[in-house]
A and B are shown apart, each in its own frame.
Chain A
Amino acid sequence: MEERQVYLERFENALLSLDWLAARKVFSEIAEHVKGEGSIADVEGFIVPVLEKIGAGWETGEVSLSQVYMSGRICEVLLGENTPVKTFAVKNTQKIAIAVLEDYHLLGKRMVKSVLLANGLQPVDYGTKSAPELAACVIKDGIEILLVSTLMLPSALRVKELRKILSDSGNGVKIVVGGAPFRFDENLWKAVGADATGKRASDAVGLVRKIMEEKNV
């Protein structure tokens, strides 16, 4: 089996087993493997597909949410521990922010943020905000892409209020939404005036990149 594929499988198994020791060992081997290149992109080329596969596994029911979360957390820690990869090449061409609307369930936001960081995309983290507070932050900071995570239906419906405040002030930020209410109603993201929705954390990367490309055209 190709060496790269072996690393990918071993790393995936270690993450899904939540085996920090095994994950750290494989990660060290990967880092050594790409050392000669010295490129962040090469390490990301191992981490990112594994996290995306794990995220896809949650979508199909093969992997649990806690495994997805812990996998992202282990990768965050490993990336942070390894000096050659500590400094990311930031790939934002626009300012990105992430927030939770009106509740304290932060897991979804945390997972999306992990995946974005692993892909070299650096969001400003607003934590939990109400719709008016979030709109004010977006306007003040010149945010161009806003990712909003919600758990409860009322919070999801607040996106409509957020959109209205921003539109009324002439702000054209792109809003990407995610969370349970949007998974249970496929049309909800349109109804609240969002520009896109993702079903799993790793979807955020593709959506953000697409928006960045469209804005750069």
Chain B
Amino acid sequence: MPLFLLVTMHGARELGLSIKDYFSKPEHVVEGQLRMRAKYLNDCIYNFYYAAAEVEAWGMDILYHADGPPNSGAPFITNPDDIRKLKPPRVKDCPCLVKVLDSARALKAGVGDDAPILGVVMSPFSVPVMQMGFERYIELMFERPDEFNHLMTINEAFCVEWANAQLEAGSTAIVYYDPVSSPGITPKNKFMRSGFETAKRVISRIKGPTAIHFASERCLPISSELPATGAGAVGVSCVEDLVLLKNAFKQKMALVGNLNGIEMCGWTSRKAEEAVKDAIKKAGPGGGFILSDNHGEIPFQVPEDVLLSISEAVRKWGEYPLTWVQDDAP
């Protein structure tokens, strides 16, 4: 069973650097990812720096923390009327994005085809939370359709360029983060007329495999619609039942998830093994399941011991054909 341990900031710990310094140079991220793959026997390379890089590209300030992902500062769209004047940044002109491409190239040179290299994009439908603040964005979505559509057009153009640049640089697949499309945030009927259409338009233009990820948010109520986005896999949340998720996506999309990264901070080795075993039992049989966390980024606070326990548990319990699952059945 594949293990996608989506570690980002832990690379800073590996190299003895601050998180800010770690992400300042692509060679740090390359070294960090290679060391973590070797340490945790990770089945992927995660060339993701931080979500706010996509608004840093617009000139937004980034807030750095000693113990968490770099965060977006004050939103740069403060008046919806200004949306019409916006032009998307060009990837090649943004140092914060160019370094991600540099690390993709170096990682590809380092691992070849031994492990998939995952690149990440923020969905055009979700990135406005950082661009304008959540509440202003919700108001825009429901009350200013013209400006909303214009913002989607701009964001879609950027997203496609950014995704394809990462694939060209050596990424194997793209993770399309779209929590705002979750029915937990946007009602389904609204999603069908907005986030769903955006996902279809963007994913169809991404020149490589794509996974859609809801960053801890729910997706079951829209599960029958998601295959039509073109994504081949879906990142699922710990708040939904993995058995129901498996049934909903069986033979349509691979499941990626769904370990609780927040709780993971306080796990014992035993608890880690139990959680892994439980997830494998529920979603592993028949394949189409990649064990991972449910948010798409392991919190910096998760101890190394827990990550090692997760890795060991996958090797212990995740060997197909998973005969122990039938043996475990009541």
Which of A70, A110, A184, A187 has the most C-beta atoms of chain B within 10 angstroms of its own C-beta?
A184
Interface SS of chain B: helix, strand, loop or mixed?
A: loop
A102 to B71, CA, bound (A): 10
Confirm or deny: A188 has a beta carbon within 8 angstroms of a beta carbon on chain B.
Answer: yes
Min Cβ gap B242→A in Å is 16
Task: Find out whether the CB atom of A152 lies under 8 angstroms from the CB atom of B262.
Answer: no
Which residues in window 254-297 of B have CB below 8 A to A? 260-263, 265-266
Interface centre among B133, B187, B263 (most CB of A within 10 A): B187
Partner of B216, one of A66, A155, A180: A180
Q: Give the docked Cα–Cα distance between A61 and B183 (Å).
A: 8
Is there contact, CB below 8 Å, between B135 and A154? no
Of the candidates A64, A67, A106, which one forms a contact with B134 in the assembled complex, judged by CB atoms under 8 Å apart? A106
Main secondary structure of the interface of A (DSSP, over half): helix
Which chain B residues (55-114) contact chain A, with CB distance < 8 Å?
A: 63, 65, 67-69, 71-75
Contact of A107 among B135, B141, B299 (CB under 8 A): B135
Contact indicator A153/B138 (Cβ below 8 Å): no
Give Cα A192–Cα B74 distance, bound, in whole angstroms: 26
Asked if A29 is at the interface of the complex by the 8 Å CB criterion, the answer is no
Instruction: Assess whether B184 is interfacial by the CB under 8 Å rule.
Output: yes
Judge whether B319 is part of the interface by a CB distance below 8 angstroms: no
What residues of B have a CB within 8 angstroms of the CB of A58 in the complex? 184
Query: Which chain B residue shows the least CB distance to A186?
Result: B263
A–B pairs, 18, beta carbons within 8 Å: A18-B142, A61-B184, A61-B218, A66-B141, A73-B135, A104-B133, A105-B133, A107-B135, A107-B138, A153-B262, A153-B265, A153-B299, A154-B68, A154-B301, A184-B260, A185-B260, A185-B262, A191-B266
Q: Is the CB of B263 within 8 A of A66?
A: no
Q: Is B41 an interface residue when CB atoms closer than 8 A count as contact?
A: no
Say yes or no: A103 contacts B67, CB within 8 Å: no
A65-B184, A65-B185, A157-B301 as given contacts; A152 in contact with B71, CB under 8 Å: yes
Query: Which positions in A face B, CB cutoff 8 Å?
Result: 18, 58, 61, 63-67, 69-70, 73, 102-107, 110, 152-155, 157, 180-181, 184-185, 187-188, 191
Chain B residue nearest in CB terms to A61: B218
CB nearest neighbor in A for B180:
A66
Given the known A-B contacts A69-B135, A103-B63, are A187 and B266 also in contact in the complex, defined by CB atoms under 8 Å?
yes
- Cβ-defined contact, A153 with B68, below 8 A: yes
CB-nearest residue of chain A relative to B142? A18
Are A61 and B68 touching (Cβ within 8 A)? no
Contact with A along B215-235 (1 / 0, CB 8 A): 010100100000000000000
Given contacts A103-B71, A185-B266, contact A70 B142 (CB under 8 A): yes
Residue of A nearest to B218 (CB): A61
- Establish whether residues B135 and A106, one from each chain, have CB atoms under 8 Å apart when the complex forms: yes
Ranked nearest first, the 3 interchain pairs of A and B with the lowest CB-CB distance are A154-B68, A107-B134, A184-B262
Question: A105-B129, A106-B134, A153-B265 known; 18 other A-B pairs, CB under 8 Å?
Answer: A61-B183, A61-B218, A61-B221, A64-B183, A64-B185, A66-B185, A66-B190, A69-B138, A70-B142, A103-B71, A107-B133, A107-B134, A110-B135, A153-B262, A154-B65, A154-B301, A184-B238, A184-B263
Q: Which residues of A lie under 8 Å from residue B184 when comparing CB positions?
A: 58, 61, 64-65
Contact residues of B between 113 and 160, Cβ < 8 Å to A: 129, 133-135, 138-139, 141-142
Least Cβ distance of B157 to chain A in Å?
Answer: 25
Q: How far is the CB of A162 from chain B (nearest CB, A)?
A: 15
B294 nearest CB neighbor, chain A only:
A184
Least Cβ distance of B44 to chain A in Å?
A: 23
Cα(A125)–Cα(B79), bound, Å:
22
User: A184 to chain B: which residues have CB within 8 Å?
Assistant: 216, 238, 260-263
A67 to B186, CA, bound (A): 8
Distance A116 CA – B4 CA, assembled complex (angstroms) = 42
**CA separation between A64 and B221, bound complex, in Å?**
11
Q: Tell me the smallest distance from the CB of A187 to a CB of chain B, in Å.
A: 7
Q: Tell me which residues across on chain B come within 8 A of A61, comparing CB atoms.
A: 183-184, 218, 221
In the assembled complex, the Cα of A151 lies from the Cα of B266 at a distance in Å of 19
Q: How far, in whole Å, are A118 and B183 apart by their CA atoms in the complex? A: 26
Set of chain B residues within 8 Å of A18, measured between Cβ atoms? 142
Complex: how many Å from CA A121 to CA B262? 32
Distance (Å) between the CB of B148 and the closest chain A CB? 12
B48 interfacial by beta-carbon distance below 8 Å: no
A191–B266 alpha-carbon span in the complex (Å) = 11
Whole-angstrom distance between the alpha carbons of A67 and B63 in the complex?
30
Q: Are A66 and B187 in contact (CB under 8 A)?
A: yes
Q: Which residue of A lies closest to B263 (CB)?
A: A185
Say whether B214 faces chain A, with CB atoms less than 8 Å apart.
no
B300 at the interface (CB under 8 A from A): yes
